[in-house]
Amino acid sequence: MLEFKYLQYRKRKLLNLRKFTVFIFTAIAMLFTQVYAATTAEVKQLIIKQSKEMGVEPAIMLSLAKTESGFRQDVKGASGNIGVFQLFPATAKRMGYNAYNLDENIKAGITYYKNMYKTFGSTELAVAAYNSGPDAVKRYKAVPPSSKTFVNRIMTDYKYFQKNM
């Protein structure tokens, strides 16, 4: 009988040791796999750097990122758009980028804006196309009514960033 109780005691100890070991390994794994969230200042610096490298004025890209996501990569829109520049993953993929990656989301946002600017030739129409899509801008041959508030907000921030960079 004494031997049986001793075996039960050892089993409990072993079980507790296993639970503790699993807990420790889980905690360590969580620490090492935590996703690093870039600060607003880091995101702004990445946007400025990438914009300059890609030949786009940083102030317009800062204003787009501020309005689209508040400079946050973790923002997800109701329509499925994601990241700093609120891109659809398929749109980013079409341009050769991964919208889920911060650096690539920024490059994709700049590339998309640059394409819209080349297509429409003005900052306001490029911003409208960024927001409503190029077909809406082509249809109206101007800023679509649904994008006027967005374009006004971007242009206000754009002027601010031009003066304060």
Instruction: Determine which one of 53, 57, 68, 104 is catalytic.
Output: 68
Q: Which of 158, 142, 160 lies closest to 63 in space, CA to CA? A: 158
Can 124 be counted among the known catalytic residues? Answer: no
| Residue 149 CA: distances (Å) to CA of 117, 135, 144, 153 | 19, 18, 10, 6
Rounded to an integer, what distance in angstroms lies between the CA atom of residue 129 and that of residue 112? 10
- Residue owning tokens 């690539």: 104
Rg (alpha carbons) of the chain, rounded to whole number: 25
Instruction: List the catalytic residues.
Output: 68
